[in-house]
Structure 1
């Protein structure tokens, strides 16, 4: 049975009615110092069988910050790159960098020479913290690209022993730059969002208020720490003084067992993760957990109620971007949100508009598709070294998200697709996300990705890449059955003409399908593609 703490036994760290207030502590370093004072002995970080208290992490990060300043010459505003897997050293180096007055540059561990060289050069990193597995690659890139005096530090011996356990005398404020957070862009090299201390603190504050998490909770994350989700989970843990469990990676086959074993009460998943979890074999132990709530970006509409029923906790949608942190959420007491497809309503610190993509000054009527435009805090300061790109998305203080949405009759916002993730078939626009959702409602489908392919007459046609569950034949008959079922939910022109079955999908660090990589793979290693040509219309 799902053991849930009663409301009377719980005290939210941030009451819901304070979500729009200023956080009581303006910086991440200040937040860690406060937790070390008022909850020093409490568990903060748990990696595998090892855990560290708030006080232990506070002292470790202070020692390492002194090392950075005295041995590596890190000064205010200097960039410190972190290329590590999900090990405790990741958040330690991050927080130590901020204590030293530096700016953290998370680096995806999957990067090879070209991507790594770009990030180190673009950010102007002065120091790189990494491990033995990647140290040679980093050193080769630094030498080969003539990046100058870039120090490479192996975290196995971070050199912090012997330094003071009190933090260096460095002034930081809410508007002090904390991160250059490179986005997993779909084309070309990524852009770095400039994120301040205030961004992270505000994000943790709002998430604490919207969830009601408190001292008795246990948070869990499995995404790579170079991506922002484990980082805002860290800010959330600091806000509510609760432990954060960090898994080495996301594994659909073991994730819920880890949730149960660590007695986690809260986690966040996104992209294809909910579908992959649900399509694991059901177990009598599914509801034997301590879960109280789940936040998710991309809850499959058709599975929403079943996800809740299977694991015995409410799942609610939350929407945000690296550029803006958190924008929309569905309250946990809103039962009408289940299976509605709604992204929810704006958090108290955000204002949203649904704008005409052709004329952003014009707001479209309810029920019509437009671009989601967001204002308020938290918000990035802009893109590092990219004034033109910044001007393209931040106009008059409003972020143009590139997402197509509609405003529902209840005022909630529903996602239609990406402006750039569309198939323009003749005179019709097809939102890839809508077609993918229709295909993924079939129990035989693990995941689907829809792309545009050239067509001599219509300009573009709709192609679906489909990953099937084990044991389902990758045959033309299966493809036809999937299209017939999806076709009952879609307009005729949206039904894919082409279907190609795949064993898996290339994915970004945020567990989203990388469509550019998928197209490249299909071009270089084409699989059997079934063509369901229909009369031209």
Structure 2
């Protein structure tokens, strides 16, 4: 992309979306192109006109039968089925607030979200109804939550959109974060948040009505929701897979003719470690956006599938902050530049901007941005200070771009050295034997903390001392001695957050409850402990 293209893209990114609500976008698309495909699932597809009709029917049902009023919270506990986005958009039409619930939640998780959000209604299906009923029956304060079985909603009477005022400032979601530091917190996200996120990503990716967008994340996560806003923005179809499968993902991309997708977390590494296929480059992809592209694999990912992979950075609280549109960023680890609607700074502990090349906390301001955390004024005040969101990410400037170094709370403090877990993890994951790694600090009498690596191995690799020694030996050629893991424990998988980050508190808790074999690789004390 040349400089002129970048300037033109920046101009489009800086413009506010002309329609500030999801409900307004859906109405506009249905009026313009009622027969154009909007949603495609395994069991069928639905046009903009059909979705406009079904969401109006459901919105009226929620108001007339379930007593939903503007501002009421309505939970959605469903897998990736078409009723999920229909429920989300219908709740918005009713002026109410969606509360996405992970469909894999168990009793304690569901009880917490229902109680914390104050949800009056929950939409679910036959599979999840027994759990919902169990929670309602066991907690007096939740017994009044109305349950709507989506399987009973196929023949609702025809209706026009309800006469409810919905603006860009209307609260749309209580979107629960992963809860990596205690109980999950609900980000308050407005209609404006979603339309801006869709608008910015559409402009950044240069997408239009001839594109086909594909997503494989659970709909309760952020990504399918902003993908829906994106498709409402450009008037293009959204293909929703039941779940992510590394072995079948690219076949689905080919089968559906997808031109754009977003992946994150371990997904790029898992995709790359699939056996090469002569059909790898047989696809219509024009662009893949990704958060945390493995640096060592970046160029290889592009070569293998014959399409650009570009970095995009954001979080639930802030939507999108940085995007890389330049070929020169490939394989550099740079995150790109701020989108025109955002300002970013890198600051020290006192809030003072640090010099270029020095590390500090990344903070961001602008739009989109959450209003704050639901019922958490102290937590809101902690991260939103004087209009700036404190991300907790450690970054540094690299030319006119930025580079992540780690997390403020994800450091190993060994002796007098601070070690960014993310740096060690990136080196480990370059190894062909490694699918994913997580580095944590463990107590040590001499150094305070020592470096421990939890490692998920590639298929067919033996989980033994020899493998641990070989992986650490290869990493030691790229890391300072004090950063090299002393301990290695192999795991079959990792607990993950909704954003596909490894949930380290859950990992540590699991290791404490069900410890595996840990290899101590310090030369002077070659032992194993359980």
* TM-score bucket of the superposed structures, by smaller chain: over 0.9
| 502, 508, 511: which one aligns with 1:513 | 502
Secondary structure at the aligned position of 2:334 is classed as coil
| 377, 393, 397: which one aligns with 1:403 | 393
Query: Is the Cα contact below 8 Å between 1:252 and 1:276 reproduced in 2?
Result: yes
Query: Is the Cα contact below 8 Å between 1:44 and 1:237 reproduced in 2?
Result: yes
**Matches of 1:531 and 1:33 in 2, distance apart?**
61
Match of residue 18 from structure 2? 24
Match of residue 10 from structure 1? none
1:110 CA displacement: 1.6
Query: Is the Cα contact below 8 Å between 2:412 and 2:419 reproduced in 1?
Result: yes
Query: Is the Cα contact below 8 Å between 2:10 and 2:340 reproduced in 1?
Result: no
| 352, 364, 370: which one aligns with 2:344 | 352
**Matches of 2:345 and 2:430 in 1, distance apart?**
30
**Matches of 1:220 and 1:159 in 2, distance apart?**
25
1:190 CA displacement: 0.2
1:265 CA displacement: 0.4
1:136 CA displacement: 1.6
Query: Is the Cα contact below 8 Å between 1:125 and 1:150 reproduced in 2?
Result: yes
Correspondence list, 1:485-524, <5 A: 485-524=474-513
**Matches of 2:481 and 2:34 in 1, distance apart?**
61
| 197, 201, 207: which one aligns with 1:203 | 197
| 350, 366, 388: which one aligns with 2:356 | 366
**Matches of 2:61 and 2:503 in 1, distance apart?**
39
Secondary structure at the aligned position of 1:436 is classed as helix
Query: Is the Cα contact below 8 Å between 1:16 and 1:212 reproduced in 2?
Result: no
Match of residue 342 from structure 1? 334
> Residues 15 and 56 (structure 1 numbering): CA distance in 2 closer, same or farther, change over 3 Å?
farther
Deviations 1:41-85 (A, max 9, x none): 110000014000000000000000000000000011000000000
Match of residue 376 from structure 2? 386
Match of residue 414 from structure 1? 403
**Matches of 1:471 and 1:231 in 2, distance apart?**
37
**Matches of 2:96 and 2:407 in 1, distance apart?**
35
**Matches of 1:425 and 1:160 in 2, distance apart?**
63
Q: Tell me, yes or no, if structure 1 residue 258 matches structure 2 residue 247.
A: no
**Matches of 2:372 and 2:32 in 1, distance apart?**
35
Match of residue 3 from structure 1? none
Query: How high is the TM-score relative to the length of structure 2?
Result: 0.96
Q: Matched residue pairs, number? A: 517
Q: Tell me, yes or no, if structure 1 residue 153 matches structure 2 residue 148.
A: yes
Q: Over the residues paired in the alignment, what is the CA RMSD in angstroms?
A: 1.3
Deviations 1:160-194 (A, max 9, x none): 61141x10000011111000000011132100000
In the TM superposition, structure 1's runs of 4+ consecutive aligned residues that sit over 4 Å from their partners are: none
For structure 1, which segment, 227-236 or 425-434, has the greater mean C-alpha deviation from structure 2 after superposition? 425-434
Q: Tell me, yes or no, if structure 1 residue 468 matches structure 2 residue 457.
A: yes
Structure 1 unaligned segments of length 5 or more: list them.
1-13
Match of residue 468 from structure 2? 479
> Residues 385 and 160 (structure 1 numbering): CA distance in 2 closer, same or farther, change over 3 Å?
farther
Correspondence list, 1:61-460, <5 A: 61-146=55-140, 147-158=142-153, 161-164=156-159, 166-331=160-325, 334-356=326-348, 358-360=349-351, 362-408=352-398, 410-460=399-449
**Matches of 2:33 and 2:401 in 1, distance apart?**
38
Deviations 1:93-114 (A, max 9, x none): 0000000110000001121111
Higher relative contact order structure (alpha carbons within 8 Å, sequence separation ≥ 6): 1
Query: Is the Cα contact below 8 Å between 1:174 and 1:197 reproduced in 2?
Result: yes
**Matches of 1:16 and 1:218 in 2, distance apart?**
23
Query: How high is the TM-score relative to the length of structure 1?
Result: 0.94
1:518 CA displacement: 1.7
1:529 CA displacement: 1.2
Query: Is the Cα contact below 8 Å between 1:64 and 1:159 reproduced in 2?
Result: no
1:510 CA displacement: 2.6
Query: Is the Cα contact below 8 Å between 1:217 and 1:264 reproduced in 2?
Result: yes
Query: Is the Cα contact below 8 Å between 1:265 and 1:293 reproduced in 2?
Result: yes
Query: Is the Cα contact below 8 Å between 2:53 and 2:158 reproduced in 1?
Result: no
Query: Is the Cα contact below 8 Å between 1:426 and 1:460 reproduced in 2?
Result: yes
**Matches of 2:130 and 2:190 in 1, distance apart?**
31
1:520 CA displacement: 2.1
**Matches of 2:362 and 2:155 in 1, distance apart?**
46
Secondary structure at the aligned position of 2:362 is classed as strand
**Matches of 2:9 and 2:168 in 1, distance apart?**
22
Query: Is the Cα contact below 8 Å between 1:67 and 1:160 reproduced in 2?
Result: no
Query: Is the Cα contact below 8 Å between 1:350 and 1:376 reproduced in 2?
Result: yes
**Matches of 1:228 and 1:503 in 2, distance apart?**
26
Match of residue 11 from structure 1? none
**Matches of 2:388 and 2:503 in 1, distance apart?**
27
Match of residue 6 from structure 1? none
> Residues 159 and 126 (structure 1 numbering): CA distance in 2 closer, same or farther, change over 3 Å?
farther
Structure 2 unaligned segments of length 5 or more: list them.
1-7, 526-530
1:534 CA displacement: 5.6
**Matches of 1:49 and 1:117 in 2, distance apart?**
31
1:523 CA displacement: 1.8
Secondary structure at the aligned position of 1:132 is classed as coil
